Amino acid sequence: MNHVPVLLRKILVVATALAALVVPEDCAAGAPDPVRPNLLLILADDLGFGDVGCQGATDLRTPHLDQLAAEGMRFANFYANCTVCSPTRAALMTGRYPDLVGVPGVIRTHADDSWGWLAPGAVLLPQVLKPAGYHSALVGKWHLGLESPNLPNARGFDHFHGFLGDMMDDYNTHLRHGRNYLRLDSEVVEAQGHATDVFTDWAIEYLRDRSDQSEPFFLYLAYNAPHTPIQPRPDWLARVQAREPELDPGRARLVALIEHLDDGIGRVLAALEENGQAGRTLVLFTSDNGGQLSVGANNGRWRGGKQDLYEGGLRVPMIARWPGRIAPGSESPVMALTMDLFATCAEAAGTAVPGEIEGVSLIPILLGGGSGLPSRDFVWMRREGNPRYQGRDYFALRRGDWKLVQNTPFEPWQLFNLVEDPGEERDRAAAEAGVRWDLTRILMRHIQRAGTVPWQPPAPGGTGDQE
């Protein structure tokens, strides 16, 4: 018996030594997983802040997104980088403010109505993940260029199965302006069925192809739902109308489109489980901007919607799940932006980010090791044509509790205290002229930086060099 304590001490010493060999230093609490996780980034198109069950919706059902939130973390104060598609996608892919990479507005088919050109020198997320051994795929909507050099495979993706354009004129024909923008890498392809089903099927095919591969994957799954046209599958619409017979017909169509989207996301998550990939996959879900009010979107308690720089146009759902790393059922009040997901994915993968990005990693928040992020200003802008904007810019800036807003290029600045007035109902610009001017000066510095970045393709014979 006298030898037992000595024996126990020897066992403890050996166990400690083995643990040091087996558990790397970076596996401490709050550090990314030493086994590089797969990355699944799901982006909805025009999904409003309040159009998810776990965000308070009462007239729609999103069981799969609700379950994702129950198994992970939901962000209560997450912002899109812009109030429309292309700029937010540019921010997501580069970790930068969109106008600093040449995408201040929507990229479109016709040159006279296209307001961005992705900077050739911008480093995209798949390029950052490549040195860490990731195979990167984009399934779904690209919307950052219709021709070389701004095509997905030329900008770092190993696999592209999706749609190049800004929107589809019909969810079943998949055409835009009579053109087929569906591609498998560089090959023009056709597809049968509703676009939500097509993208879901293509994502599941990719996951199955990667199920027996040793290298981790990054799958960027970008649905075009629930963007207009609000064209749900008839069986989903019938289901909603039977359950909610008093629902406004327009709202019922949008609800059906969203519920079908949720079902597709559920099928993708189920494929992860079936393939044995779910346990080592960080899943991120968000939307590119707020919902479109004219088609019945619900942006929660926030003012405005898509195209507006009020909170309803910018606040979006954001959910993260990482089994064994993110506490189930958690919620974060931290304010963050779409561009932060770039640095988040890079840190999770254990790879370095480019020298200059504005986004910051959310890993400390996700893993519970941090209570906040560095104090910073949030800037939003958009450049747009059509009679409402006439090719000019409009802006918003948030610093702390204060938000400066110009919601069209032709109106005076408005100033709101979002803590006292979250609905942006009481303009304080006249009463707080000093605050207004301080925020205006910050915004002017950003405009000066962005002014050095070209946002149109170079003229024939030009180099097109950009930062």
Q: Which residues are catalytic?
A: 85, 143
Please give the full DSSP string across 58-110, using - where no structure is assigned.
SS---HHHHHHHHTSEEEEEEE-SSSSHHHHHHHHHHSS-GGGGT-SS---SS
- Choose among 98, 107, 93: nearest CA to 457: 107
Distance CA 98, CA 357 (A): 11
What's 247's DSSP letter? S
Yes or no: say if 400 and 280 are a contact pair by the CB < 8 Å rule.
no
Answer whether the bond into residue 226 is a cis peptide, omega within 30°: yes
- Burial code (b: 16+ CB inside 10 Å, e: under 16) for 426-453 equals eebeeebeebbeebeeebeebeeebeeb
- Choose among 107, 57, 62: nearest CA to 82: 107
Yes or no: say if 48 and 290 are a contact pair by the CB < 8 Å rule.
yes
The DSSP bridge partners found for residue 75 are 332
Yes or no: say if 346 and 129 are a contact pair by the CB < 8 Å rule.
yes
Distance CA 279, CA 273 (A): 8
Distance CA 160, CA 141 (A): 10
Question: How do strand 281-287 and strand 38-44 relate by DSSP bridges?
Answer: parallel
| Beta-carbon contacts of residue 192 (< 8 Å; ≥ 6 apart) | 198
Strand order in the sheet with 182-184: 187-188, 182-184, 159-163, 135-141, 217-222, 38-44, 281-287, 318-321, 73-79, 330-337
Yes or no: say if 246 and 313 are a contact pair by the CB < 8 Å rule.
no
Yes or no: say if 146 and 138 are a contact pair by the CB < 8 Å rule.
no
The DSSP bridge partners found for residue 116 are none
Distance CA 205, CA 227 (A): 24
